[in-house]
């Protein structure tokens, strides 16, 4: 009795970047070659790294403003201008928001070099003081609606939250115009069309400021 011996040999040949497999069968007869093509796996597309969030750092001692990013942070002796608009904290503060103050100090240093003096006329106000100012405004303007265009009640005003600055009021709108034009670099924005002196941290440093509201009466508590 004859025994047929069959051998299967797998041969792999690279062809033009693809892979072609050949199965060769050996038996007592002539070898038979069969070709099996294999499609190469696609090369995965690398995931791009996220763009670092920019951060400005200010040194009060040297008056220098340095660019960094949120991951690297600021150096010792520097204060961050923050990377976002400044919103209300969870609890009522007892002083001006420290990031808002840093933004003003950085802008003040730049304005001074340009020949424009800036100073804070009014920043943080206690709840009681703001309410008293509002009542005085009601007497002056004759109604709460009219008074609210200029002075807000304590529940609505951003001054008791440490988030508002009155700059150079009432005597120097010219210098304050510099801040209106350049304040966005530092995240400081003029808030109202009828108050050239009132600024808040309404944008991230370097972002364009939002459109001004007609007057304070349209302020929200958000």
- The count of residues in the chain is 222
Among 187, 119, 126, 197, which residue's Cα sits nearest to residue 157? Answer: 126
Domains assigned to the chain: 7-38 (no CATH), 84-218 (3.30.1380.10)
Cβ(187)–Cβ(203) below 8 Å: yes
Condensed to tens digits (0 to 9), the pLDDT of residues 64-101 reads 999 999 999 999 999 999 999 999 999 999 999 999 99
The beta strands (E) that lie in 70-202 are given as 79-80, 120-122, 164-167, 189-192, 195-200
208: left (phi over 0), alpha (psi -120 to 50) or beta: beta
What percent of the chain lies above the pLDDT cut of 90? 75
Mean pLDDT throughout 121-144? 98
**How sure is the predictor about 209, in pLDDT bands with cuts at 50, 70 and 90?**
very high
Cβ(81)–Cβ(59) below 8 Å: no
Cβ(176)–Cβ(183) below 8 Å: no
In the chain, count H helices and then E strands. Answer: 4, 10
pTM: predicted TM-score of the whole model, two decimal places: 0.78
Condensed to tens digits (0 to 9), the pLDDT of residues 97-114 reads 999 999 999 999 999 999
What is the predicted pLDDT for the residue at 37?
56
Among 116, 115, 79, 121, which residue's Cα sits nearest to residue 100? Answer: 79
- For helices 173-182 and 98-113, the axis angle rounded to 10 degrees is 110
* Beta-bridge partner residues of 166: 122, 198
């Amino acid at each position: 009795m004859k025994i047929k011996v069959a051998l299967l040999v797998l041969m792999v040949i690279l062809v033009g970047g693809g892979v072609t497999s050949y199965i060769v069968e050996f038996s007592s007869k002539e070898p038979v070659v069969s070709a099996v093509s294999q499609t190469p796996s696609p090369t995965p597309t690398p995931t791009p790294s996220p763009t670092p969030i920019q951060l400005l750092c200010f040194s009060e001692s040297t008056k220098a403003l340095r660019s960094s990013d949120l991951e690297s942070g600021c150096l010792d002796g520097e204060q961050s201008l923050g990377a976002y608009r400044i919103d209300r904290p969870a609890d009522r503060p007892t002083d001006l928001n420290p990031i808002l103050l840093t933004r003003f100090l950085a802008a003040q240093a730049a304005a001074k070099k340009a020949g424009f003096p800036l100073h804070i006329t009014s920043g943080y106000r206690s709840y009681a003081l703001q309410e008293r100012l509002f009542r005085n405004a009601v007497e002056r303007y004759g109604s709460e609606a009219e008074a609210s265009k200029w002075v807000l009640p304590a529940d609505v005003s951003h001054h008791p939250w440490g988030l508002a600055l009155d700059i150079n009021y009432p005597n120097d709108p010219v210098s304050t115009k510099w801040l209106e034009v350049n304040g966005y670099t530092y995240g400081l924005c003029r808030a109202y069309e009828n108050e050239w002196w009132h600024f808040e941290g309404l944008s991230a440093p370097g972002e364009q400021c939002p459109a001004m509201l007609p007057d304070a009466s349209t302020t929200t508590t958000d």
